[in-house]
A and B are shown apart, each in its own frame.
Chain A
């Protein structure tokens, strides 16, 4: 059958199960947009390409599917860069299509030409520049295959305009993807599983350190089974929030720079550390010599290059978390109790709970807002975050019960991620409440997406923890730069309530503790448009506890009872 490149593209997307794409049109993608005009694939028009790519990312994180977005050549592509890097750092499967100038013009500095495959080379799992219309089907198939298998990540496909316009005789096939240089990892080394089992069976003070890989591998059930069978306390990374229920008696909360004291102490004292789908990020390990100094380390990761990258491990297990845990669990001898270790941990939990002070007049404690959101949703919601203090409080004061309910830019720390990601998440999971816990600085980075959320009637709730500061940076200036608040004051800001209304969204301002619950309840009632709640929070509240940079995770600042 004669088909245009663009039609073949959409046909292939449908075959991959894509039902929604996020994008923004332009000259070089006109043929694709023309084909979209009467396609059954839903297209969400963002207000900025960065909004489109974060929305596709939020869609992917919330659903477990591969997110798809489209942008035009040149500035369209370069506007995607932050979003692609965000997905790359957090191992999120995306397929990103960019328009390119016609093939005969490539390399001539043509209008709106940018070398997007060159630009995105270090921030993609792989990328393609299409050379022949005949290759569209194969490349789309490969792109999705690469994006979602093994360690997931973003793949960029650059599509010259003429090749999308060109008609060819197209015959579809169901051939398997064939790539000599890329194989899907299967199975795990049974010898290492036996070693790991022995180590865990003998451990007296074991800790599980679980992360984003558990969620990517859909292995939360297995993780829970192992922890409960062996009575092993579990701490998760920021990326692992929800991989293990925060409500479990075995949960230690998050570890690392702004983790709980209990989690950091437990890792400091453990004799066996079971690292599951984690990458020993420096926000977690702090000074590497002081990280889990007494522990033998078991590391399960699908990416062989992660093993031994930052810390030396005793038992490396390369493979899917799910498969590894499934073969490990039957070899573990169920334990009735682990009383001494649990007593120590309970003591830390009692001694060092997360706590915060009282607000000044006309302000609310930001932590209180997060606690209220938890109280009202009982964890049955998807929380997205911006970056900074808001993100840390969202991790600390809310109990995540399920995977894919906490979406946050961990690796890149992209301000402006949370709101567009919330839009994508709500489109993926219309059944769930979706709440963006935001800062007043971050929300202004992609505030234009209010237009998108209003147009498509996406009822997400943005809770701005408005401290009128770039809070996290201010906190560091306060602690480590003698309180010199250099360019972190954000008092010049729009009236967020009026701004919401101008876009056709709902705006609510809250300045008193008593109003917090009412405002949230009101916002949760709205089903046809986004809501901004502008919570005026204590201006100089800090995130505690905290491992100061370069310190041992045992030397945390703040969070003691006598503070």
Chain B
């Protein structure tokens, strides 16, 4: 199964997220992640949807999305040269014995420590999926107390 990243440009109206989510559920498409946010145009929102499936499935997903009246444009950016990013917050166990080690890791991943507790740290990082997966793996041995990932947002490079 390959993963595809779709940039879906939609009307910024109530209910649009439900329409998209209902479509995926009803047609049994697998959403890997979905993010929504505003854009440079206040009337328009942008969703980044990572969906699993072969080319046929993605073609159906795209066509079905286009049938939603509030969907303005669907772009499959999987094969485009694009910048994609996720933001991760990790609360990791960090007593005095391991703090230094963690700080080192934070440096390597160009992450940041955004909160210091007595026995824990919150680390913030951004990067593409692969990097975030690696980061998560590296912190796991210390004990991850809580972790949240935003899901991916993406943008095609250049002036397109």
A-to-B contact residues, CB < 8 Å: 117-118, 121-122, 125-126, 129, 146, 179-182, 303-305, 308-309
Does B22 contact A121, Cβ atoms closer than 8 Å?
A: yes
Does A308 contact B59, Cβ atoms closer than 8 Å?
A: yes
Does B60 contact A305, Cβ atoms closer than 8 Å?
A: yes
A-B contact pairs, 22 of them (CB 8 A): A117-B15, A121-B18, A121-B22, A122-B22, A122-B26, A125-B69, A126-B69, A129-B15, A179-B69, A181-B11, A181-B68, A181-B70, A303-B67, A304-B66, A305-B60, A305-B63, A305-B64, A305-B67, A308-B56, A308-B59, A308-B60, A309-B60
Determine which of A129, A181, A308 lies in contact with B72 in the assembled complex, contact meaning CB atoms within 8 Å.
A181
Give, as a whole number of angstroms, the nearest-CB distance from B36 to chain A. 16
Q: Is there a chain A Cβ closer than 8 Å to B71's Cβ?
A: yes
Q: Is there a chain A Cβ closer than 8 Å to B19's Cβ?
A: yes
- Residue from the set A122, A129, A181, A309 with the largest chain B CB neighbour count within 10 Å: A181
Cα–Cα distance between A122 and B26 once the two chains are bound (Å)? 8
Instruction: Give the contacts of B1-37 with A (CB-CB under 8 A).
Output: 10-11, 15, 18-19, 22, 26
Select from chain B the residue with minimum beta-carbon distance to A305: B63
Select from chain B the residue with minimum beta-carbon distance to A131: B14
Contacts A304-B63, A308-B56, A308-B59 given; does A118 touch B18 at CB 8 Å: yes
* Chain B residues within an 8 Å CB radius of A146: 69
* Chain A residues within an 8 Å CB radius of B60: 305, 308-309
Cα–Cα distance between A309 and B70 once the two chains are bound (Å)? 22
* Chain A residues within an 8 Å CB radius of B72: 180-181
* Chain B residues within an 8 Å CB radius of A305: 60, 63-64, 66-67
Contacts A122-B26, A304-B63, A309-B60 given; does A180 touch B18 at CB 8 Å: no
| Among all A-B residue pairs, the 6 with the closest Cβ atoms | A305-B63, A126-B69, A181-B72, A182-B69, A180-B72, A304-B63
* Chain B residues within an 8 Å CB radius of A118: 18
- Residue from the set A117, A118, A129, A304 with the largest chain B CB neighbour count within 10 Å: A304
Give, as a whole number of angstroms, the nearest-CB distance from A71 to chain B. 21
Contacts A304-B63, A308-B56, A309-B60 given; does A121 touch B19 at CB 8 Å: yes
- Residue from the set A121, A122, A305 with the largest chain B CB neighbour count within 10 Å: A305
Determine which of A117, A181, A303, A304 lies in contact with B69 in the assembled complex, contact meaning CB atoms within 8 Å.
A181
Interface string of B90-123 (1 = CB under 8 A from A): 0000000000000000000000000000000000
- Residue from the set B15, B66, B69 with the largest chain A CB neighbour count within 10 Å: B69
* Chain A residues within an 8 Å CB radius of B22: 121-122
- Residue from the set A121, A122, A146, A180 with the largest chain B CB neighbour count within 10 Å: A180
Interface string of B38-80 (1 = CB under 8 A from A): 0000000000000000001001100110111111100000000
* Chain A residues within an 8 Å CB radius of B56: 308
Select from chain A the residue with minimum beta-carbon distance to B61: A305
- Residue from the set B11, B67, B68 with the largest chain A CB neighbour count within 10 Å: B67
Select from chain A the residue with minimum beta-carbon distance to B21: A121
Give, as a whole number of angstroms, the nearest-CB distance from B11 to chain A. 6
* Chain A residues within an 8 Å CB radius of B59: 308
Give, as a whole number of angstroms, the nearest-CB distance from A165 to chain B. 23
* Chain B residues within an 8 Å CB radius of A122: 22, 26
* Chain A residues within an 8 Å CB radius of B66: 304-305
Cα–Cα distance between A541 and B70 once the two chains are bound (Å)? 50
17 other A-B residue contacts (CB within 8 Å) besides A118-B18, A121-B22, A181-B70: A121-B18, A122-B22, A122-B26, A126-B68, A126-B69, A179-B69, A180-B72, A181-B68, A181-B71, A181-B72, A182-B69, A303-B67, A304-B63, A305-B60, A305-B64, A305-B66, A305-B67
Give, as a whole number of angstroms, the nearest-CB distance from B23 to chain A. 8
Select from chain A the residue with minimum beta-carbon distance to B18: A121
Cα–Cα distance between A141 and B151 once the two chains are bound (Å)? 38
Cα–Cα distance between A126 and B67 once the two chains are bound (Å)? 9
Give, as a whole number of angstroms, the nearest-CB distance from B12 to chain A. 11
Cα–Cα distance between A146 and B69 once the two chains are bound (Å)? 9
Cα–Cα distance between A185 and B15 once the two chains are bound (Å)? 25
Select from chain B the residue with minimum beta-carbon distance to A146: B69
* Chain A residues within an 8 Å CB radius of B70: 181
Cα–Cα distance between A195 and B10 once the two chains are bound (Å)? 35
Give, as a whole number of angstroms, the nearest-CB distance from A394 to chain B. 31
Select from chain B the residue with minimum beta-carbon distance to A153: B67
Give, as a whole number of angstroms, the nearest-CB distance from A180 to chain B. 5
